[in-house]
Homo-oligomer: A and B are copies of this chain.
Amino acid sequence: MEDRLPDSLRERKQRRTRDAITEAALTLFAERGFDAVTVTDIAERAEVGRSTFFRYFADKREVLFADNGELLALLIAASDRAAGPLSPLGASLADALIVAHAGLLALTRRIADQSHWLALRARLIDEHPELQARHLTKERGYVAAGIETMMRHGAAPDTAALAAGLAAACFAAGHARTLATGQDLPTAVDAAFRQLAAVDTGALQAAIAGR
């Protein structure tokens, strides 16, 4: 994948360990439920020590957000590349959405690699308020990174904030569609963007002006 970060042998080994812990944890969460699983259980299943676990994750909740840093980097890199030729973005919502779309697409392509965990992850977050709060914080991190990238390329703050929120809504709609139909995530998120891009703005403008 063109969006992978540079790898070295040591980094590859670290990634393998992290992936093994993540797989072990998610398998156990699916088998026994989130609350019944301890860090010791996860470490045993992944065949690592507890101290190794804690070198990678602060606690068992953090495992569900394992890719956060990498996803954030992908989002920023892809947004940056898309924004370059459009700089300065100014108050153009279309340009800001083009940047947000590029960032989200890179993100969803990476998430799609773990698509077998999407439904479990969504259910666990939904059922556990403390995971919900952490999920919200991470999600806000993506939105904030998107806004920051657009503003670095000259987007008006209001426009950047609106575009990031609209893009997050397209992601949510696509994510829901993936969970409901099994359609792959990048295609589902892209479909939401396409529907937004095909909106009848004339009808919308007339109705809003009429109130």
Label chain A's interface by main secondary structure. helix
CB pair B165–A201 under 8 Å, yes or no, is no
**Contacts A129-B133, A133-B132, A200-B92 hold; do A207 and B162 have CB atoms under 8 A apart?**
no
> Taking the complex as formed, is A130 at the interface, i.e. its CB lies under 8 A from any CB of chain B?
yes
Task: Tell me, in angstroms, the Cα distance from A115 to B190 when the chains sit together.
Answer: 37
Is A204 an interface residue when CB atoms closer than 8 A count as contact? yes
Query: Are B177 and A158 in touch, CB under 8 angstroms?
Result: yes
Residues of B within 8 A of A207 (CB): 94, 98, 101
C-alpha spacing A193/B98, complex, angstroms = 18
> How many angstroms from the CA of A203 to the CA of B172 in the assembled complex?
23
Pick the residue among B105, B136, B165, B201 that contacts A211 (CB under 8 A). B105
Tell me if A205 is interfacial: C-beta within 8 Å of chain B.
Answer: yes
Q: Which of B176, B177, B197, B205 contacts A204 (CB 8 A)?
A: B197
Determine if B159 and A165 form an interchain contact, defined as CB atoms under 8 angstroms apart: no
